[in-house]
């Protein structure tokens, strides 16, 4: 899931300075799970904004809503009645949700309340750990379900390197060597021969080509509609 953390209150306050009515939007998706942007965190932020405004001798009306997800347009459209009166929207979603929200309600300033950090898993009480870089070339079938791109400090697709000692990485004794973990798991399965297969370098253009990546299921996608003659797009053509 996408993991994010709250921005400092001072930064959020700078963005909404001068706003009389603010809509704080939580998100019921990933950021609820990592305890950063759910309904409870949205209510807390709203209270902090009200108190801060009161301390500055001014009033601020702060409404709170928490849609199921902010990364799906279908959950944003029903918020129009709440968005209408607001001078600004503060979003407790990942960067994907913030951008879609700003697209759906382009006339309203949308400010992020979170810093999107990584894609990770819940690995302990109150702890989430990065497990995937979204490289677009998943090799987990060959590496015993352990990602060397996200979990190796050098992103090695063939390891281990000479910096491994007692199963730890030379970068830090607190960091497990991903390739040592891969070796152990393959040894337990009796599949160490898999380590003899050399993997080609990662083609980073698949994840950082300078263009927005897109996934389209043709059987589900709607055909693009031609632009109306009077529209800006139609005029441009």
From first to last of its 237 residues, the chain has per-residue pLDDT tens of 999 999 999 999 999 999 999 999 999 999 999 999 999 999 999 999 999 999 999 989 999 999 999 999 999 999 999 999 999 999 999 999 999 999 999 999 999 999 999 999 999 999 999 999 888 899 998 999 999 999 999 999 999 999 999 999 999 999 999 999 999 999 999 999 999 989 998 888 777 656 666 778 888 887 765 555 544 444 444
| Ordered strands of the 114-124 beta sheet | 2-6, 114-124, 127-132
Confirm if 221 and 212 have CB atoms less than 8 A apart: no
Q: Tell me if 83 sits within 8 A of 108, measured CB to CB.
A: yes
- Domain ranges, ordered by start, for the chain: 2-118, 133-206
Predicted structure pTM score = 0.81
State how far the Cα of 92 lies from the Cα of 7, in Å rounded to an integer: 10
Superfamily of domain 2-118: Response regulator (3.40.50.2300)
Helix H or strand E segment including 235: helix 232-236
Beta-strand relationship, 168-169 and 172-176: antiparallel
């Amino acid at each position: 899931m996408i993991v994010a953390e709250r921005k400092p209150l001072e930064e959020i306050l700078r963005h909404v300075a001068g706003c009389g009515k603010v809509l704080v939007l939580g998100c019921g998706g990933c950021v609820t799970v990592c305890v950063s942007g759910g309904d409870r965190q949205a209510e807390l932020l709203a209270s902090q904004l009200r108190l801060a405004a009161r301390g500055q001798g001014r009033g601020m009306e702060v409404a709170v809503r928490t849609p199921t997800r902010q990364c799906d347009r279908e959950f944003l459209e029903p918020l129009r009645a709440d968005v209408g009166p607001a001078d600004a929207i503060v979003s407790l979603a990942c960067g994907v949700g913030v951008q879609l929200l700003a697209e759906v309600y382009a006339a309203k300033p949308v400010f992020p309340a979170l810093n999107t950090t990584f894609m990770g898993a819940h690995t302990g009480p109150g702890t989430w750990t990065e497990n995937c870089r979204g490289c677009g070339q998943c090799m987990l079938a060959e590496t015993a379900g352990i990602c060397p791109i996200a979990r190796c400090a050098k992103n090695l697709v063939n390891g281990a390197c000479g910096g491994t000692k007692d199963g730890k990485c030379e970068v830090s004794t607190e960091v497990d060597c991903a390739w040592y973990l891969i070796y152990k798991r393959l040894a337990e399965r009796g599949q160490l021969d898999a380590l003899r297969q050399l993997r080609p370098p990662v083609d980073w253009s698949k994840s950082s080509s300078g263009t927005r990546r897109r996934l389209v299921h043709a059987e589900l996608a709607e055909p693009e509609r031609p632009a109306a003659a009077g529209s800006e797009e139609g005029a441009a053509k």
